[in-house]
Amino acid sequence: MPDALPRDFYARPTLTVARALLGTVLCHRRGGDVLRARIVEVEAYIGERDGACHARAGRTGRTAVMYGPPGHAYVYLVYGMHEMLNVVTETEGRPAAVLVRGAERLAGGALPGPGRLTRALGIDRALDAADLCGQRLWIEAGGLARGERIARSPRIGIDYAGAPWVDKPWRLFVEGSAGGSRAPRATGTRPRG
DNA sequence: TATTTGATTCTT
DNA sequence: AGAATCAAATAT
Protein backbone atom coordinates (compact mmCIF):
# COMPACT_ATOMS: atom_id res chain seq x y z
CA MET A 1 0.00 0.00 0.00
CA PRO A 2 1.58 3.27 -1.07
CA ASP A 3 2.09 6.02 1.45
CA ALA A 4 0.72 9.52 1.31
CA LEU A 5 2.79 11.90 -0.74
CA PRO A 6 5.12 13.85 1.56
CA ARG A 7 4.83 17.55 2.21
CA ASP A 8 7.84 18.17 0.00
CA PHE A 9 5.74 17.06 -2.94
CA TYR A 10 3.48 20.08 -2.47
CA ALA A 11 6.23 22.55 -1.54
CA ARG A 12 7.12 23.22 -5.16
CA PRO A 13 5.99 25.66 -7.86
CA THR A 14 2.27 25.28 -8.40
CA LEU A 15 2.47 24.32 -12.06
CA THR A 16 5.04 21.67 -11.19
CA VAL A 17 2.72 20.23 -8.56
CA ALA A 18 -0.26 20.42 -10.90
CA ARG A 19 1.53 18.37 -13.52
CA ALA A 20 2.84 15.91 -10.95
CA LEU A 21 -0.66 15.36 -9.56
CA LEU A 22 -1.93 13.86 -12.81
CA GLY A 23 -2.09 10.12 -12.34
CA THR A 24 -1.88 10.22 -8.54
CA VAL A 25 -4.59 8.73 -6.35
CA LEU A 26 -6.84 10.87 -4.17
CA CYS A 27 -7.88 9.00 -1.01
CA HIS A 28 -10.58 9.79 1.54
CA ARG A 29 -11.16 7.70 4.64
CA ARG A 30 -14.88 7.44 5.35
CA GLY A 31 -15.81 5.28 8.25
CA GLY A 32 -14.06 1.99 7.71
CA ASP A 33 -13.62 2.50 3.99
CA VAL A 34 -11.12 4.39 1.91
CA LEU A 35 -12.51 5.91 -1.27
CA ARG A 36 -9.95 6.32 -4.03
CA ALA A 37 -9.86 8.00 -7.40
CA ARG A 38 -7.12 8.67 -9.88
CA ILE A 39 -6.66 12.36 -10.65
CA VAL A 40 -6.78 13.19 -14.37
CA GLU A 41 -7.60 16.89 -14.52
CA VAL A 42 -6.35 19.86 -12.49
CA GLU A 43 -6.04 23.63 -12.62
CA ALA A 44 -3.42 25.93 -11.06
CA TYR A 45 -4.30 29.12 -9.16
CA ILE A 46 -1.22 31.08 -8.36
CA GLY A 47 -0.94 34.04 -6.04
CA GLU A 48 -2.66 37.33 -5.34
CA ARG A 49 -1.85 38.72 -8.76
CA ASP A 50 -3.67 35.89 -10.55
CA GLY A 51 -7.02 37.46 -11.39
CA ALA A 52 -8.71 34.06 -11.23
CA CYS A 53 -7.32 33.04 -7.83
CA HIS A 54 -9.45 33.59 -4.75
CA ALA A 55 -6.43 35.15 -3.10
CA ARG A 56 -6.71 38.07 -5.52
CA ALA A 57 -8.70 39.90 -2.83
CA GLY A 58 -6.04 39.22 -0.25
CA ARG A 59 -6.21 37.08 2.83
CA THR A 60 -9.73 36.40 4.10
CA GLY A 61 -11.32 33.81 6.30
CA ARG A 62 -11.98 31.63 3.31
CA THR A 63 -8.59 31.91 1.68
CA ALA A 64 -6.50 31.74 4.85
CA VAL A 65 -5.56 28.13 4.27
CA MET A 66 -3.97 29.02 0.94
CA TYR A 67 -1.58 31.28 2.81
CA GLY A 68 -0.61 28.47 5.14
CA PRO A 69 1.90 25.65 4.68
CA PRO A 70 1.64 23.39 1.61
CA GLY A 71 0.05 19.97 1.67
CA HIS A 72 -3.30 21.05 3.07
CA ALA A 73 -6.79 20.95 1.54
CA TYR A 74 -8.65 24.10 0.55
CA VAL A 75 -12.33 23.20 0.22
CA TYR A 76 -15.03 25.76 -0.49
CA LEU A 77 -18.59 25.98 -1.74
CA VAL A 78 -19.35 27.54 -5.09
CA TYR A 79 -22.65 28.36 -6.80
CA GLY A 80 -24.38 27.47 -3.57
CA MET A 81 -24.07 23.77 -4.24
CA HIS A 82 -20.69 22.43 -5.28
CA GLU A 83 -17.73 21.68 -3.04
CA MET A 84 -14.39 22.34 -4.72
CA LEU A 85 -11.26 20.51 -3.60
CA ASN A 86 -7.90 22.25 -3.88
CA VAL A 87 -4.42 21.31 -2.76
CA VAL A 88 -2.29 24.08 -1.23
CA THR A 89 1.15 24.44 -2.81
CA GLU A 90 4.39 26.43 -2.58
CA THR A 91 5.44 27.89 0.76
CA GLU A 92 3.74 29.46 3.73
CA GLY A 93 2.83 33.04 2.97
CA ARG A 94 2.48 32.41 -0.77
CA PRO A 95 -1.19 31.76 -1.58
CA ALA A 96 -1.49 29.17 -4.33
CA ALA A 97 -3.35 25.93 -4.92
CA VAL A 98 -4.30 23.27 -7.44
CA LEU A 99 -7.99 22.60 -8.08
CA VAL A 100 -8.77 18.92 -8.61
CA ARG A 101 -11.23 18.91 -11.51
CA GLY A 102 -11.59 15.33 -12.62
CA ALA A 103 -10.75 11.76 -11.65
CA GLU A 104 -11.40 8.12 -12.39
CA ARG A 105 -12.52 5.57 -9.86
CA LEU A 106 -10.04 2.71 -9.64
CA ALA A 107 -13.04 0.40 -9.85
CA GLY A 108 -13.99 1.81 -13.17
CA GLY A 109 -16.32 4.77 -13.04
CA ALA A 110 -15.42 8.22 -14.25
CA LEU A 111 -15.85 11.26 -12.03
CA PRO A 112 -15.91 14.12 -14.49
CA GLY A 113 -16.12 17.62 -13.07
CA PRO A 114 -14.95 19.04 -9.75
CA GLY A 115 -18.41 19.07 -8.18
CA ARG A 116 -19.21 15.48 -9.04
CA LEU A 117 -15.79 14.38 -7.89
CA THR A 118 -16.15 15.77 -4.38
CA ARG A 119 -19.71 14.51 -4.10
CA ALA A 120 -18.69 10.98 -5.08
CA LEU A 121 -15.84 10.90 -2.58
CA GLY A 122 -17.81 12.53 0.21
CA ILE A 123 -15.52 15.55 0.37
CA ASP A 124 -16.96 18.80 1.74
CA ARG A 125 -16.05 21.88 3.73
CA ALA A 126 -15.58 19.81 6.87
CA LEU A 127 -12.27 18.88 5.27
CA ASP A 128 -11.20 22.46 4.66
CA ALA A 129 -7.66 22.93 5.97
CA ALA A 130 -7.24 19.17 6.47
CA ASP A 131 -3.62 18.05 6.40
CA LEU A 132 -2.98 15.92 3.33
CA CYS A 133 -0.17 14.27 5.25
CA GLY A 134 -2.75 13.09 7.78
CA GLN A 135 -5.14 10.18 8.16
CA ARG A 136 -8.41 11.46 6.71
CA LEU A 137 -7.54 12.80 3.30
CA TRP A 138 -4.35 12.16 1.37
CA ILE A 139 -2.88 11.52 -2.06
CA GLU A 140 -0.83 8.49 -3.07
CA ALA A 141 1.80 8.31 -5.76
CA GLY A 142 0.74 7.24 -9.19
CA GLY A 143 1.69 7.79 -12.74
CA LEU A 144 0.60 7.94 -16.30
CA ALA A 145 0.09 4.78 -18.27
CA ARG A 146 2.17 4.21 -21.34
CA GLY A 147 0.85 6.33 -24.12
CA GLU A 148 -1.04 8.74 -21.89
CA ARG A 149 -0.32 12.35 -22.76
CA ILE A 150 -0.80 15.57 -20.87
CA ALA A 151 -2.72 18.36 -22.56
CA ARG A 152 -3.41 21.90 -21.40
CA SER A 153 -5.94 24.63 -21.94
CA PRO A 154 -7.13 27.87 -20.36
CA ARG A 155 -8.94 27.46 -17.06
CA ILE A 156 -12.69 26.91 -16.95
CA GLY A 157 -15.31 29.27 -15.58
CA ILE A 158 -13.04 32.21 -14.83
CA ASP A 159 -14.07 34.65 -17.52
CA TYR A 160 -14.16 37.41 -14.91
CA ALA A 161 -10.38 37.26 -14.63
CA GLY A 162 -8.80 39.92 -16.78
CA ALA A 163 -5.97 39.55 -19.21
CA PRO A 164 -3.56 37.91 -19.17
CA TRP A 165 -4.91 35.52 -16.56
CA VAL A 166 -8.01 34.40 -18.41
CA ASP A 167 -5.81 32.99 -21.17
CA LYS A 168 -3.13 31.30 -19.08
CA PRO A 169 -3.08 27.61 -20.06
CA TRP A 170 -3.11 26.44 -16.47
CA ARG A 171 -5.61 23.61 -16.86
CA LEU A 172 -3.78 20.32 -17.25
CA PHE A 173 -5.45 17.02 -18.03
CA VAL A 174 -4.78 13.53 -19.26
CA GLU A 175 -5.79 13.59 -22.87
CA GLY A 176 -8.71 11.38 -23.75
CA SER A 177 -9.53 10.39 -20.17
CA ALA A 178 -13.17 9.74 -19.34
CA GLY A 179 -12.60 11.42 -15.99
CA GLY A 180 -12.00 14.76 -17.57
CA SER A 181 -14.68 17.35 -16.95
CA ARG A 182 -17.10 17.97 -19.74
CA ALA A 183 -15.97 21.52 -19.59
CA PRO A 184 -17.07 23.48 -22.60
CA ARG A 185 -14.57 24.67 -25.17
CA ALA A 186 -11.46 22.65 -24.45
CA THR A 187 -9.11 25.02 -26.16
CA GLY A 188 -9.97 28.34 -27.56
CA THR A 189 -12.98 27.27 -29.57
CA ARG A 190 -14.97 30.15 -28.23
CA PRO A 191 -14.30 33.48 -29.85
CA ARG A 192 -13.87 36.13 -27.25
CA GLY A 193 -14.37 39.78 -27.88
C1' DT B 1 -27.58 46.22 5.36
C1' DA B 2 -28.47 45.11 0.29
C1' DT B 3 -26.96 43.35 -3.95
C1' DT B 4 -24.06 40.78 -7.00
C1' DT B 5 -21.45 37.02 -8.24
C1' DG B 6 -19.52 32.87 -8.84
C1' DA B 7 -12.93 27.74 -9.84
C1' DT B 8 -20.84 23.99 -11.49
C1' DT B 9 -24.20 20.87 -12.91
C1' DC B 10 -28.66 19.57 -14.39
C1' DT B 11 -33.03 20.51 -16.74
C1' DT B 12 -35.72 22.84 -20.35
C1' DA C 1 -30.87 29.23 -22.27
C1' DG C 2 -31.89 29.02 -17.22
C1' DA C 3 -32.61 27.26 -12.65
C1' DA C 4 -30.85 25.75 -8.33
C1' DT C 5 -28.85 27.94 -4.04
C1' DC C 6 -25.64 30.36 -0.66
C1' DA C 7 -21.24 32.30 1.07
C1' DA C 8 -18.22 35.88 0.28
C1' DA C 9 -17.09 40.11 -1.84
C1' DT C 10 -18.64 44.54 -3.12
C1' DA C 11 -21.61 48.35 -3.10
C1' DT C 12 -24.56 51.42 -0.40
**Strand C proximal to A77 Cβ, under 7 A:** yes
pLDDT at A185: 41
Q: Which nucleotide is nearest to A58 (CA to C1')?
A: C9
Q: Please identify residues in chain A, positions 24-63, with a C-beta within 7 angstroms of any atom of strand B.
A: 43, 45, 52-55
R_g of chain A computed on alpha carbons: 15
How wide is the angle at C-alpha A157 spanned by C-alphas A112 and A14, nearest 5°?
80
Model pLDDT, residue A56: 96
Q: Is the CB of A21 under 7 A from strand B?
A: no
The bases of strand C with some atom under 7 A from any protein CB are 4-10
- How big is the CA angle at A14 (ends A137 and A175), to the nearest 5 degrees? 80
Which nt sits closest to A44, CA to C1'? B7
Q: What is the model's pLDDT at position A127?
A: 98
Per-residue confidence (pLDDT) for residue A183, from 0 to 100: 63
The predicted structure's pLDDT at residue A191: 37
Residue ranges of chain A whose pLDDT lies below 50: 185-193
Q: How far apart are CA A191 and CA A81, in angstroms?
A: 29
**How confident is the model at residue A66, as a pLDDT?**
98
Nucleotide nearest to A79 (CA to C1'): B6
Maximum distance among all Cα pairs of chain A, rounded to whole angstroms: 52
Q: Is the CB of A79 under 7 A from strand B?
A: yes
Distance CA A36, CA A102 (A): 13
pLDDT at A189: 35
Please give the nucleotide, over all strands, whose C1' is closest to the CA of residue A82: B8
Q: Is the CB of A184 under 7 A from strand C?
A: no
How distant is C1' of B9 from CA of A139, in Å? 26
pLDDT of residue A96: 98
Whose C1' is closest to the CA of A182: which nucleotide?
B9
